[in-house]
Amino acid sequence: MSQLYESVSHQQLERLAHIEFLAYFIGKVTRKDIMMRFGVSSAAATRDLTTYIESAPENIRYDPRQKSYIATSEFKCLLPLSADKCLSTLTSGFGDVMAGREEFRCAHLIALENPGLDLTATLSRAISLLKPIQMQYVSMGSGESTRVICPHSIINDGLRWHVRAYDRKREQFGDFVVNRILEAKILRGDAVKSNEVSSEDVDWNEKVTLVVEPHPRLSASGRRAIETEYRMKDGAFQKQVRKAEVGYLLNSWNIDSTVDAELKGAHVFLHLRNAAEIMEMGIQNYLLAPQL
């Protein structure tokens, strides 16, 4: 931590940390961001930005076209930001209790896990700034290769973090495991095209309803326990999810996704009641669901 930060008040340190968070993860920060978050005056926000720039002159620069301070390619995080809190903020906002606040969010949480902070920041900045990323990626099928992707969301499947993105190599949207990315850089001279944005990702925007019930092989007391645990009504509960999430969710919850509930094992408590219907949809990642 900079010695300068050690000499400021706790309140100003919180504001400086907010400046660093916005620059690090969103790629830009304005006086208005500080004023709205902390209820300070324009003059106070200006002083905070000046303090930050004096301590980290290579981290941000003012862009008169965007009327924002933009993170530079030489940006280095100075404060000991918490990975848990940063990922939580990207998922849920800055902790305000008022509804309707317009805040940048790009992480979609099922269960929290921490990927590398620098890589997460790179992905998040690319999403915020609508920029492609060039990355070295290790896939199960083809091994290590160079890819250019246009990310639009980060999601946790209950086991690990993925980035949802348009893959220019395959010319389609897909999922990439964040921890399989060896290195990544934003292509600042490039821009995401109209067919590479989230609104064009059909499996991301279309939703399906999963009907989940206690596994039929359970005893009466076992079914009762599962119905109580999952707050089931009429022996089942319904979960609406994106098509792009279906296989991951069924896998992370260990839901028997065979039509006739054929999976065995003491660890299998749930069954997908409408498995036949979901299978007929031809969802790409359904192959990840627990099946024979």
Residue 54 lies in a domain: yes
Token pair listed for 196: 């590479």
pLDDT value at position 109?
54
The predicted-structure confidence for 79-97, as pLDDT tens digits, reads as follows: 888 887 888 778 777 755 4
pLDDT over threshold 50, residue 14:
yes
Pairing of strands 143-156, 270-272: unpaired
pLDDT over threshold 80, residue 20:
yes
Nearest C-alpha neighbor of 226 from the set 194, 270, 191: 270
pLDDT value at position 100?
46
Nearest C-alpha neighbor of 247 from the set 282, 218, 220: 282
pLDDT over threshold 80, residue 112:
no
Cβ partners under 8 Å of residue 62, min gap 6: 68, 69, 70
Query: Residues 111, 76: one domain?
Result: no
Query: Residues 223, 197: one domain?
Result: no
Query: Residues 190, 244: one domain?
Result: no
The rounded percent of the chain whose pLDDT value lies above 70 is 91
Domain stop point among 150, 180, 203:
203
Query: Residues 117, 194: one domain?
Result: yes
- Which structural domain range is residue 180 located in? 107-203
Token pair listed for 282: 């031809």
Q: What is the mean pLDDT of residues 2-13?
A: 74
| CATH number of the domain residue 70 falls in | 1.10.10.10
Residue 252 lies in a domain: yes
pLDDT over threshold 50, residue 122:
yes
| CATH number of the domain residue 183 falls in | 2.30.30
Residue 102 lies in a domain: no
Count the domains in the chain: 3
How far apart CA 229 and CA 261 sit, in angstroms, is: 20
Query: Residues 137, 190: one domain?
Result: yes
Cβ atoms within 10 Å, residue 257: 25
Find out whether 242 and 207 touch, Cβ atoms under 8 Å: yes
Nearest C-alpha neighbor of 25 from the set 102, 170, 139, 124: 124
- Comparison of pLDDT for 114 and 12, the residue scoring more: 12
> What's the chain's average pLDDT?
89
Query: Residues 187, 148: one domain?
Result: yes
Query: Residues 118, 139: one domain?
Result: yes
Residue 251 lies in a domain: yes
Residue 99 lies in a domain: no
Q: Which of 87-96, 110-119, 242-251 has the highest mean pLDDT?
A: 242-251
pTM of the predicted model as reported, rounded to 2 decimal places? 0.71
